Structure 1
């Protein structure tokens, strides 16, 4: 297990008893709180009713809301890991429905991922992913899942390139597919941070200003800062990655759940780079929307780590202008899935 606090700047590492203020703000924040569309769907699923989930995913597919669809599929599969009755009923009622096939495929990958026999288990999931991909030829989300599957099953580069080409034909700037491709690149050559930055920077340059792909370089910076392996990346490149994500964040309202994960990632990266004023700004924009990623990559208590960083960044004196600090920590958890 990674020493969480060793991964953070010195101003965050000081041991302390949580203050009354810290205990109070914990009541204001919910980890991975569902948005207004997903919340009633999860309530219904908890009661065994799959109808709202089917309606939600059919709506995202009909409107080509691929980023929302990807998020909802991931969240529904995560819910089904502990409460699967509603999904089993849905699959029995509509075994060829592209939406239930996609959730079932995501769930199968998620269940196989922690196993030491991951590669072998994932090979048995391939037919389910193929069926999901055939359900709607426009949908890039099954191809994001196929890219994750290829990484977990240690597929070769040529096969992954074919998957990538199929994904971008459907949605050239789909964030989930880009993250999946970036993860494959990072896992296939440990320490390949410069190559990952090249991929992320080019993707961001080609994407619209309001695309989540603008945050891909910041995600690469996070991997670099928590890896502690590979050649050094110039500070200017890390700052440029953060600046691009800051510009993206500024396009959305405060306390908006849509960019919440990007803002959580950015707050971590900015704090690690010593850009405390910028980190404070992102923490204000995050509001109550703490997300598991990136905190769960470096801690068994992601919400606790988020709250500690928030309190410490707010309390820390600013570094002198023009003299930001940079540090690299130990490795984040293996198996970034």
Structure 2
């Protein structure tokens, strides 16, 4: 290999299957309407953060709504069929709503959004009743509830139902973080308190340190130009980011769970904005060009461009 070749950085790219072979096979099964194959693979993974993460990405596959009702009808006792149907309806609903602010979403889209979420809730509650130990239905009920504006009390109860079943479930903590942030009728103070308390209650080397980075990115996003960078480069904010990384991605016990790429991308963006080039470069180097759309979409319609820009600044 040439001198230059050894230092060539991989071109950044987003992968629909998150570079995960299991996910790729599940999404392919969903595309070809192969329920037996999808059922077998999902059933082979114990319910928890891994299954939730996988199903959340399978649920994004277009067209599941055209064949999953027949599966539910053919397997009336199957909690897994109801779970897949409910999960997809949640994703399908948010697709109808779009990511625009409410003032820019038509009434027709909102009606479709709410109709799909209401059906999803019925299916998810039924799945939860049939399999009371499963956390995944409660995760999707959190997502549905935010869209239906069920209120902070009901949202909190759904979060508590999830963490009773899986105390360090990252997805459910992320959903509750969104619920208490300012854009969903919470506040910056409540959001940061939730993130830090959750991290400290969790195990060292566990996943919940990411919540602190997410909270600071959400706060940064709400500020005007100039104020945003001044905020995220404050010494106390930088110190909290390092503490969170030390308790999660930089801790020897962290390893690389199935969803590690999104966590590394989150910390890479947070450290980049905070001006912590060395910390960001370590994460960029580990990622080897593997980009997750979130959170880079906060910076650009093309996440790979944002990733490339900040990777170059960090020297990663």
Do both proteins adopt the same fold according to a TM-score greater than 0.5, normalized to the shorter chain?
yes
State the Cα distance separating 1:121 from its structure 2 match.
Answer: 4.5
Q: Are 1:94 and 2:75 an aligned pair?
A: yes
* Alpha carbons 1:200, 1:216 under 8 Å: kept: yes
Distance change >3 Å, CA 253–CA 200, structure 1 → 2: closer
Structure 1 unaligned spans of 5+: 1-22, 316-337
Name the SS of the counterpart of 1:249 in structure 2.
coil
| Alignment partners' CA distance in 2, 1:29 and 1:146 | 28
Distance change >3 Å, CA 270–CA 181, structure 1 → 2: same
Name the SS of the counterpart of 1:298 in structure 2.
coil
Distance change >3 Å, CA 34–CA 96, structure 1 → 2: farther
* Alpha carbons 2:124, 2:140 under 8 Å: kept: yes
Name the SS of the counterpart of 1:125 in structure 2.
helix
| Alignment partners' CA distance in 2, 1:39 and 1:68 | 14
Cα RMSD between the aligned structures? 3.1
Q: Are 1:78 and 2:63 an aligned pair?
A: no
* Alpha carbons 1:50, 1:89 under 8 Å: kept: no
Q: Are 1:53 and 2:38 an aligned pair?
A: yes
Corresponding residue number in structure 2 for 1:207 = 202
Aligned residues: 290
| Alignment partners' CA distance in 1, 2:145 and 2:210 | 23
**Partner of residue 145 from structure 2, selected from 140, 144, 150:** 150
State the Cα distance separating 1:88 from its structure 2 match.
Answer: 5.2
* Alpha carbons 1:105, 1:129 under 8 Å: kept: yes
State the Cα distance separating 1:166 from its structure 2 match.
Answer: 1.6
Q: Where do 1:65-214 residues align within 5 Å? A: 66-79=48-61, 81-82=62-63, 87=68, 90-113=71-94, 114-115=96-97, 116-117=109-110, 118-119=113-114, 121-186=116-181, 187-189=183-185, 192-214=187-209
| Alignment partners' CA distance in 2, 1:92 and 1:69 | 23
| Alignment partners' CA distance in 1, 2:278 and 2:9 | 23
Structure 2 unaligned spans of 5+: 1-7, 98-108
| Alignment partners' CA distance in 2, 1:263 and 1:246 | 13
Q: Where do 1:1-337 residues align within 5 Å? A: 25-26=10-11, 30=15, 32-61=17-46, 64=47, 66-79=48-61, 81-82=62-63, 87=68, 90-113=71-94, 114-115=96-97, 116-117=109-110, 118-119=113-114, 121-186=116-181, 187-189=183-185, 192-228=187-223, 235-250=235-250, 251=252, 252=254, 258-314=259-315
* Alpha carbons 1:50, 1:86 under 8 Å: kept: no
Alignment deviations for residues 132-183 of structure 1 (CA, whole Å, 9 cap, x no partner): 2223111111111111212111112222232222222212221111111111
- Using the size of structure 1 for normalisation, the TM-score is 0.75
* Alpha carbons 2:14, 2:292 under 8 Å: kept: no
- Bigger RCO of structures 1 and 2 (CA < 8 A, at least 6 apart): 1
| Alignment partners' CA distance in 2, 1:152 and 1:133 | 19
Q: Which has the higher helix share?
A: 2
Alignment deviations for residues 94-129 of structure 1 (CA, whole Å, 9 cap, x no partner): 344222212211211122224241345523432122
